[in-house]
A and B are shown apart, each in its own frame.
Chain A
């Protein structure tokens, strides 16, 4: 049996003016390029649980429209983001027309399996490690079931997760490889799908993560690793143990964290010493008022006062911070754009990412906005790019939100502003060099 795994990722803005503007905006384009140039961890993970007698080939699909259907496969598995769902559906339709069974898994499939089903012979709902061997078994028999689901409430024990088959990838084609240390996030923000998809927050044992990293080191001696976590340093004891091990390896890395990572200077020291290049953190808003209520425990609002300290603690140790802001939160007024610009400039954030509040299907946010009649369209997956507006904001118009976002892009990503941020970081680095002699 021969299986093709097709990974469809990348970001494509739909709003024409923003797309045109985005072409020259590094804050958006570069992050988009990074995402698009990472191989799918799902592909490598499924390859690791594929029976030895099955051939498993991996393909990135950067351009679905011009993808030539490969008729020599017995099964084609797709993984995609919601923003690419329609392109994925169309490509799956072409494979089915050629008589090849198709299956979809991943985030979008898990969030809205019924929506995807008409285009696929089978949809894999939830974590794939245990479901994938069943799918292969049934495909071999020609008896694919419409849905493969984890049992209600079932959570995969990630201590059993196999080491992904990283050697599936030609590392020369990518600028990063991904490793997952945890699944889910305990914060449960209204807009985030992670808590919904992954359920309980789980961490891999340190030795398991290190085994994966050591596997990468066999194919890439000085890798750049992106930890594909939603929030890496939730458990501080585990984090320190992990980073002490990591600093003995030759890696550079990037991850996502919340601001509590900077509460413990020893942890930040370990991050810097183990090769951390940048952390991405969801500040969401500089306004305490706008943060109010976005997560169940109101944690982000309570931690607003530590944002500036977080940036200083990280950047003073050469760990750059990519601060993320969401525009269009319910308490946001048209003043929010200037507030974000002021915060970014004042704090010396080396990088920032501004996105629009996005009601991904399956999230609490989607359900609430739908109930309040504020979705522009109920099924508008190709606008789930994080940059296209698909809801009516509470305290401004859609035009104000789109216009404000364009203005903010111009403010934050102009050449002048980028120079200013680079200079700020160079001066910080010089001070650090002077301090260490």
Chain B
């Protein structure tokens, strides 16, 4: 299972590839669209990448809010915590 830091690192690499920026320079609170210059299609592709890579499903009403590395990482973390609680 991925640790939180693994998740953040994988997301960071994917963001860097999509935004065409250096992964090390990504501010975790930088907005995908307004700060990193990603397109709305990139944003949807990021959500698909995250859901598939971390076996997650974000609630549909949150999709438009997951617009930074931190927000996406936190959402995945929260989803996994809920899953673990459900497993116990």
A298 contacts the other chain (CB 8 A): no
Asked whether A426 and B39 contact (CB < 8 A) given A222-B20, A433-B52, the answer is no
Is the contact region of chain B dominated by helix, strand, or loop, or is it mixed? helix
Asked whether A429 and B45 contact (CB < 8 A) given A419-B61, A422-B60, the answer is yes
**B47 contacts A426, CB within 8 Å?**
yes
Chain A residue with Cβ nearest B21: A222
Asked whether A224 and B39 contact (CB < 8 A) given A422-B64, A429-B45, the answer is yes
Is the contact region of chain A dominated by helix, strand, or loop, or is it mixed? helix
Asked whether A423 and B63 contact (CB < 8 A) given A429-B45, A433-B49, the answer is yes
Q: Which of B52-84 contact A (CB under 8 A)?
A: 52, 60-61, 63-64
**A426 contacts B41, CB within 8 Å?**
no
A318 contacts the other chain (CB 8 A): yes
Query: How many A-B residue pairs lie within 8 Å, measured between CB atoms?
Result: 44
B76, chain A: closest CB distance, angstroms? 14
Which residues of chain A have C-beta atoms less than 8 A from B60's C-beta? 419-420, 422-423
Which residues of chain A have C-beta atoms less than 8 A from B63's C-beta? 419, 422-423, 426
**A252 contacts B39, CB within 8 Å?**
yes
Q: Which of A398-437 contact B (CB under 8 A)?
A: 418-420, 422-423, 425-427, 429-430, 433-434
B37 contacts the other chain (CB 8 A): yes
B35 contacts the other chain (CB 8 A): no
A277 contacts the other chain (CB 8 A): yes
Which residues of chain B have C-beta atoms less than 8 A from A178's C-beta? none
Asked whether A318 and B39 contact (CB < 8 A) given A250-B20, A420-B60, A426-B63, the answer is no
Asked whether A277 and B48 contact (CB < 8 A) given A420-B60, A426-B63, the answer is no
Asked whether A426 and B20 contact (CB < 8 A) given A419-B63, A420-B60, the answer is no
In this complex, how many residues of chain A approach chain B with their Cβ under 8 Å: the count is: 21
Q: Which of A370-424 contact B (CB under 8 A)?
A: 418-420, 422-423
A109, chain B: closest CB distance, angstroms? 33
B64, chain A: closest CB distance, angstroms? 7
B44 contacts the other chain (CB 8 A): yes
A320 contacts the other chain (CB 8 A): yes
A110 contacts the other chain (CB 8 A): no
**B39 contacts A429, CB within 8 Å?**
no
B4 contacts the other chain (CB 8 A): no
Chain B residue with Cβ nearest A278: B41
**Complex formed: what's the CA distance from A9 to B41 in Å?**
25
**Complex formed: what's the CA distance from A224 to B49 in Å?**
22
A172, chain B: closest CB distance, angstroms? 11
**B44 contacts A425, CB within 8 Å?**
yes
Chain B residue with Cβ nearest A418: B64
**Complex formed: what's the CA distance from A433 to B63 in Å?**
19
**B39 contacts A277, CB within 8 Å?**
yes
Which residues of chain A have C-beta atoms less than 8 A from B49's C-beta? 429, 433
Asked whether A429 and B44 contact (CB < 8 A) given A222-B37, A419-B61, A423-B63, the answer is yes
**Complex formed: what's the CA distance from A426 to B49 in Å?**
9
Which residues of chain B have C-beta atoms less than 8 A from A250's C-beta? 20
**Complex formed: what's the CA distance from A434 to B47 in Å?**
14
Contact mask B22-54 → A, CB, 8 Å, 1/0?
Answer: 000000000000000101010011011101100
Chain A residue with Cβ nearest B19: A222
**Complex formed: what's the CA distance from A425 to B44 in Å?**
7
B19, chain A: closest CB distance, angstroms? 9
Report which of B39, B44, B52 forms a contact with A434, defined as CB distance below 8 A.
B52
Contact mask A218-256 → B, CB, 8 Å, 1/0?
Answer: 000010100000000000000000000000001010000
**Complex formed: what's the CA distance from A27 to B40 in Å?**
13
**B interface, CB within 8 angstroms of A:** 20, 37, 39, 41, 44-45, 47-49, 51-52, 60-61, 63-64
15 CB contacts below 8 A, A to B, read A222-B20, A252-B39, A277-B39, A278-B41, A318-B45, A419-B60, A422-B60, A425-B44, A426-B47, A426-B48, A427-B48, A429-B44, A429-B48, A430-B52, A434-B52
A222-B20, A423-B63, A433-B48 given; 5 more Cβ-contact pairs under 8 Å: A350-B44, A422-B44, A422-B60, A426-B44, A427-B48
**A interface, CB within 8 angstroms of B:** 222, 224, 250, 252, 277-278, 318, 320, 350, 418-420, 422-423, 425-427, 429-430, 433-434
